[in-house]
């Protein structure tokens, strides 16, 4: 029987690669719906090739070849066996919740969903018997390593270090958008690539891991590993370490997540060779240069609305950076400032989370406007 899947964000980096995976596994999948934002031309091309029943885009009148539905209708449609949430940023949260409420499994590529509302989302998934399979390569690696979570001592998340690993603080401060987007190992969307340059991405991943695997923050370690071959590891209570290795390609974690618990050859292009790779390096992150990492750990440990504030300030500042309006370090300064002013709500509900998110974004814009150009 074919697995029925919808892809939220099919025109983005993860969405396009997911369709490449599905194209290789045509006999395994049937596409229920594809959704996009503004890239309607590409969406219509995808509709022609993959023939989903339904589609959504920011302007549904421009959709050709599939029945237009709202995001809410798509995510509550029980024809879906699984929904791949491949949108970027806070827009992932509401549709994910709708799908979970309807008992539909989630392949989650949107870490902001767990950063903003991890407690609520994970509790809801448990209540509704929904599997949340991580697509993020580090969490996918940990998911593959873990047999029994209660025997796990530490989660070890690897970080490539991004384009500024070997650069000075001064060089990083004055980095251009192009330099920040030139990731040495991973080809990803713009927002996540900037997050990888500041290591905020790793910070968000620590929070994501805390929720997915229910581990305390002091049991989640980050190690810099420039080759991006070890995608993450776990250390068991007896000191045994299990790591997942592979060539850096998002096709593999995407395929794992949408086919789990099965495994297929799918899009695999090349066999893994230890001798070709020859060496693997690891080092402690530079906590002074990459302040984002500490900010994220702190936000996670505080919990409640703190990660919502962290995420909103970061996302807003990254947009401004991408438009060339602020410097790279202003992103982290904005996050630090907004975090220091944040009035914590201990157990925010979903509406409160969205209210806080909105408020922090406005305040972030105000803060950034006052910066010298």
Binding site for Mg ion (CB under 5 A): 136-138
Tokens of 328: 């790279």
Tokens of 160: 């490539």
Asked whether the beta carbons of 222 and 285 are under 8 A apart, the reply is: yes
Asked whether the beta carbons of 48 and 92 are under 8 A apart, the reply is: no
HEC string of 275-325? Answer: HHHCCCCCECCCCCCCHHHHHHHHHHHHCCCHHHHHHHHHHHHHHHHHCCC
Tokens of 80: 């879906």
Strand positions, DSSP E, 122-199: 132-134, 152-159
Q: How far is the CB of 187 from Mg ion (least distance, A)?
A: 13
Closest by CA to 44, choosing from 7, 8, 11, 86, is: 11
CA atoms within a 13 Å half-sphere pointing along the CA-CB vector of 295: 28
Phi, psi of 273, deg, nearest 5: -130, 115
Q: Residues with Cβ < 8 Å from 47, sequence gap 6 or more? A: 34, 55, 63, 64, 65, 66
Distance of alpha carbon 311 from alpha carbon 299, whole angstroms: 10
Residue with nearest beta carbon to Mg ion: 136
Q: List for the chain the helix, strand, coil content (%; round to 5).
A: 50, 15, 35
Q: How far is the CB of 12 from Mg ion (least distance, A)?
A: 15
Phi, psi of 55, deg, nearest 5: -155, 160
């Amino acid at each position: 029987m074919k697995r029925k899947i919808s892809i939220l964000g099919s025109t983005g980096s993860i969405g396009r690669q997911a369709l490449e995976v599905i194209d290789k596994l045509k006999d395994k999948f049937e596409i229920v719906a594809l959704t996009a934002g503004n890239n309607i031309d590409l969406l219509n091309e995808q509709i022609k090739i993959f023939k989903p029943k339904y589609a959504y885009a920011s302007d549904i009148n421009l959709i050709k070849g599939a029945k237009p539905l709202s995001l809410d209708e798509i995510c509550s449609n029980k024809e879906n066996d699984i929904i791949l949430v491949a949108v970027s940023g806070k827009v992932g949260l509401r549709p994910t919740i709708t799908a979970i409420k309807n008992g539909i499994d989630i392949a989650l590529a949107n870490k902001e969903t767990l950063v903003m509302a991890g407690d609520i989302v994970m509790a809801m998934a448990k209540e509704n018997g929904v599997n949340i399979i991580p697509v993020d390569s580090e969490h996918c690696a940990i998911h593959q390593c873990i047999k029994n979570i209660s025997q796990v001592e530490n989660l070890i998340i690897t970080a490539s270090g991004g384009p500024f690993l070997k650069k000075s603080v001064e060089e990083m401060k004055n980095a251009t958008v192009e330099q920040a987007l030139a990731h040495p190992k991973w080809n990803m969307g713009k927002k996540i690539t900037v997050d990888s340059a500041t290591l905020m991405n790793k910070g968000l991943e620590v929070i994501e891991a805390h929720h997915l695997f229910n581990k305390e923050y002091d049991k989640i370690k980050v190690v810099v590993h420039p080759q991006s071959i070890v995608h993450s590891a776990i250390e068991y209570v007896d000191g045994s370490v299990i790591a997942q290795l592979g060539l850096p390609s998002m096709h593999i974690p995407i395929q794992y997540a949408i086919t789990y618990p099965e495994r297929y050859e799918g899009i695999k292009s090349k066999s893994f060779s230890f001798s070709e790779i020859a060496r693997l390096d690891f080092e402690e992150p530079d906590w002074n240069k990459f302040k984002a990492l500490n900010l994220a750990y702190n936000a996670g440990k505080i919990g409640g609305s703190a990660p919502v504030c962290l995420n909103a300030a970061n996302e807003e500042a990254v947009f401004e950076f991408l438009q060339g309006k602020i410097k790279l370090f202003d992103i982290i300064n904005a996050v630090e400032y907004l975090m220091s002013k944040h009035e914590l709500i201990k157990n925010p509900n979903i509406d409160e989370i969205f209210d806080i998110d909105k408020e922090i974004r406005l305040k972030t814009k105000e803060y950034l406007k006052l910066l010298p150009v």
